[in-house]
Every structure is written in structure tokens, then in C-alpha cells.
Amino acid sequence: MTARAGPRQLALDLPHTTSFARDDFLAGPSNQAALALVERWPDWPGQVVALVGPEGSGKSHLAAIWANASGARFLSARALAGAQLPAALATGALVIEDLAETGVDERALFHLINLAREQGAYVLLTARRAPAEHDTKLADLASRLRALPVVRLSTPDDTLLRAVLVKLFADRQLTVDEGLVAYLVSRLERSFAAARTAVETLDREALRLKRPVTRTLAAEVLQT
């Protein structure tokens, strides 16, 4: 008689809280200029400013900090086409998230930039690449984008990456030792996105395997 396999342990995708408060923002050389820009508002170099950096570099956190200070609303760049632009600028401040080369209504973005300047409103654009580097078809918009002040977030150093890992584990209510953190810092790609993926994977696999999050587990499941 063949023994029946026991039920497989499923990893439940339980919600966890990520704080976007100013006190929870981890500052370092890679984001110092961007944080300074946000904190010196409304003393900005222009009405519209672009915050540029790779995925997971802290753009959304910085935008949330600024929105809390300025009363800004949030609008996805892809939703510009159907947006009522005067209403979007009603508070005098607006965050346009994830400006990309495709899927954006160029005329709507052009009118938004002009309207912000006319009304004295502030707009914070977030993007992975500088807007001036996008393949923009509308010549007038391309001219506006080239003139935008750009603040970049760069690759984190070891100290900041270590702090980010500790925070990501803490957000999931996981307590880890320094050995694991040092192991990850020495092997992960130098990006916040890689850190987030690693923490998510370790959390999920530790739950599935009913094991603690350790350096040994990291070596097994991340193949670092």
C-alpha cells in the first residue's frame, strides 16, 4: 500500500504595513539630494520638479513625505488623459507617479505643466529616467521636459542597504541577526528593489517551510 503524502504547507500572503512617514525614511548619500529637495519645499528651483531613480529607490516614500507637508494629491501618469486637471491642482500641489515613455497622454501632461505655472501650483513627477530622456513626440512638451529640474536617487551604499534590509524585515515583524543582514548586503544587487525581493522571498519560504529566517535559509532559497 502506497503511503499518501501529507498536505503541503501553504504560505499565506498576509498583509504587512510599510510606513511612509518621515521618521521611517532612511537617508544616505544615494538619496540625500532628493530628501533635501522635499524638505526645502516650497523653496524649489521651479514649479514642476522631477524625482528620478530606479525601482524601489525611495521615490514613493519621498513623494508621500512631500504630500503630507504640501497637501498634494496623487495621480498616476497613465491617468492624466481622463483627469480634470484644474481639479487635480485644487490643493496647489500634485504628485504625478511613474512617468514613463509610453502610455502617457502628452498633451495632458503639457497642459498640466502650463497650468501649474499659471496657478503657482507645485508638481512633483516621479520617474525611472529623466523626463528629458523620454522619446517625446510633442515638441512643445519635449521643450518643457528638458527645462525641468531633476533630482536623482542613485545606488545605495552598504550602510544604507543594510538599514533598508533591517527596516523591510521589521515591516514584516521579522527579527533577524546581523549575520544574515551582512550576508545579504555582500551578495545582493545594489538596489532597493533587490532588497525588497529578497525579504519577500525569505518571508514566504520561511512560512512555507516552517523555519526561521536565517543565513542558512537565505543561502538555500536565494542561491546567492
CATH number of the CATH domain containing 179: 1.10.8
* Closest to 50 (Cα-Cα) out of 107, 125, 101: 125
**Which three cell numbers mark 87?**
481639479
With respect to residue 1, please indicate whether it lies within any of the assigned structural domains. Answer: no
Are residues 148 and 166 located together in one domain of the fold?
A: no
> Pick from 117, 152, 187: which residue ends a domain?
152
pTM of the model: 0.79
Instruction: Provide the domain count of the chain.
Output: 2
Q: Summarize pLDDT for 83-115 with one digit per residue, the tens.
A: 899 999 999 999 999 999 889 999 999 999 999
Alpha helices in 71-222 (DSSP H): 85-88, 106-119, 139-147, 158-171, 178-187, 192-209, 215-221
> Pick from 106, 127, 152: which residue ends a domain?
152
CATH of the domain at 50: 3.40.50.300
Q: Summarize pLDDT for 28-86 with one digit per residue, the tens.
A: 899 999 999 999 999 999 999 999 998 878 899 999 999 999 999 999 999 998 889 99
Q: How far apart are CA 44 and CA 184, in angstroms?
A: 37
Around 44, how many Cα atoms within 13 Å sit in the side-chain half-sphere?
26
* Closest to 47 (Cα-Cα) out of 114, 103, 141, 108: 114
> Pick from 131, 152, 173: which residue ends a domain?
152
Domain range enclosing 85? 28-152
